[in-house]
Amino acid sequence: MRSHTLAVLPGDGVGPEVTGAALTVLDAAQDRFGFGTERTEIPLGADHYLATGELLPEDTVTALGDHDAILFGAIGSPRVTPGILERGIILALRGAMRQAINLRPVRLYPGVPTPIAGLTPERCDLVIVRENTEGAYVAQGSRVHPGTPAWTAVQESVNTWYAVERAVDFAYRLARVRRGRLTLCHKTNVLVEAGKLWTAVMETVGERYPDVETDYVHVDAMCMHLPVSPERFDVVVTDNLFGDIVTDLGAVLQGGLGVAASGNLNIEGNGTSMFEPIHGSAPDIAGRGWANPAGACLSLALLLGHLGEGEAAAAVEAATAAVLAELPALAGADMGASTDELGKRIARALTSGETGSGPVPPLEGSLMGQLAQVMAGSG
Ligand code: IPM
Ligand code: MG
């Protein structure tokens, strides 16, 4: 039987709840599609940090590197100064595992309520490719005279040809197997140095993809176009900070943060890819079963696609979408079922092959299928 090694990092707040639901769905996927996983749970996050002082120990990095994929819940806690866990664990992991790409699909599933009036699933199917290792996230910076009126802070953004080309090339390849359209999102009219580099990379790499049509949108204008006319976008490539911001907006189109999934992809074969819902640890609702596990389950679908379990990936996506469509509300006490119950419901939909909205869709034409095609040409 095929088997994959999986590191599970439930993390803080609602992280363990949504991860638990995703693992129930994974059990069902394994039964139906005949593969196994060997899972190692790794206790990173606020509790571990407060108890041991450790954020991301070296031996954990080594252990993670030996796994086929990482399933991540959420990290962050009001008990720890903002920035310590985020930078010390999430960003450190993305860097240590050389997760060059943060892949964030923005897809409205049929029957899912969106706050954007008149938006339909046919009009909302794009993928944001966020450069995942540098930009303003390099944690460089300096200060003078802190705590005085002369307090001065400098926070640089770093853009290397190497990392930008890696992200842009991936985005072109993804666009090529999708609708053949790639948009660069930046702020070239103000951040002119970074902007020139990104634009030059787009042009240079674009010579290898003459069949992909390209355009450019400023990040502020993107915040207007995305809710009003998402259909004009297929693949969007952008820097780390802009990508962080526009993907939260993208999540709103999809129905909210509880639905949005992501994959932190290593595309060079020198580290382990990690899959996580976009939402955070939501400490205010932790422990109540109010978190929607859809984001975690759709992240699991991306993980399965990445492991080459394409059929299982497409089935998990379809089962999650089917259960999502039945919910009276997308999160909180009104969701109609707890996080745990929803995990079981998605697992049942998967096991029976009945998705409520028809048979499980074919891999071909699905995002998982597209990713498999792109990843086959990577590394
Ligand atoms: C995300 C989050 C993280 C980010 C934080 C928690 C460091 O907002 O994954 O989008 O900024 O990348
Ligand atoms: Mg974010």
Q: Which ligand is nearest to the CA of 241?
A: 1
Residue 248 Cβ contacting ligand 1 at under 6 Å: no
Q: What residue's CA is closest to ligand 1, atom 11?
A: 244
Whether the CB of 90 sits within 6 Å of ligand 1: yes
Using alpha carbons, list the distances in angstroms from residue 110 to 40, 127, 206, 242, 325: 35, 17, 34, 28, 7
CA of 46 to the centre of ligand 2 (A): 18
pLDDT at position 362 is 65
State the distance from the centre of ligand 2 to the C-alpha of 243, rounded, in angstroms: 8
Six token digits for residue 141: 């910076």
Is 86 close to ligand 1, i.e. is its CB under 6 Å away? yes
The upper half-sphere exposure of residue 242, i.e. CA atoms within 13 Å in the direction of its Cβ, equals: 25
- Is the distance from CB of 236 to CB of 225 less than 8 angstroms? no
CA distance 228 to 115: 12
Residue to mutate (ligand 1; options 86, 101, 131, 274; most atoms within 8 A of CB): 86
Q: Is 165 in the pocket of ligand 1 (CB under 6 A)?
A: no
How far from the centroid of its chain's Cα atoms is residue 373's Cα? 18
Which of the residues in the chain have pLDDT under 50?
A: 355-358, 379
The residue nearest atom 8 of ligand 1, judged by CA position, is 244
pLDDT reported for residue 360: 55
Task: Using the atom order of ligand 1, give the atom closest to the CA of residue 276.
Answer: 9
Task: State the distance from the centre of ligand 2 to the C-alpha of 113, rounded, in angstroms.
Answer: 22
- What is the rounded CA–CA span in Å between residue 46 and residue 48? 5
For 272-311, letters b (16+ CB in 10 Å) and e give bbbbbbbbbbbbebbeebbbbbbbbbbbbbbbbbbbebbb
Is the C-beta atom of 317 inside 6 A of ligand 1? no
User: What are the residues whose beta carbons fall under 8 Å from the beta carbon of 24, sequence distance 6 or more?
Assistant: 340, 343, 344, 346, 347
One-character DSSP codes across 50-65: HHH--SS-HHHHHHHH
List, for residues 213-260, the tens digit of each pLDDT value.
999 999 999 999 999 999 999 999 999 999 999 999 999 999 999 999
pTM of the predicted model as reported, rounded to 2 decimal places: 0.95
| Residues whose CB is less than 8 angstroms from the CB of residue 121 and which lie 6 or more positions away in sequence, other chains included | 107, 108, 109, 110
Distance 207 CA to ligand 2 centre (A): 32
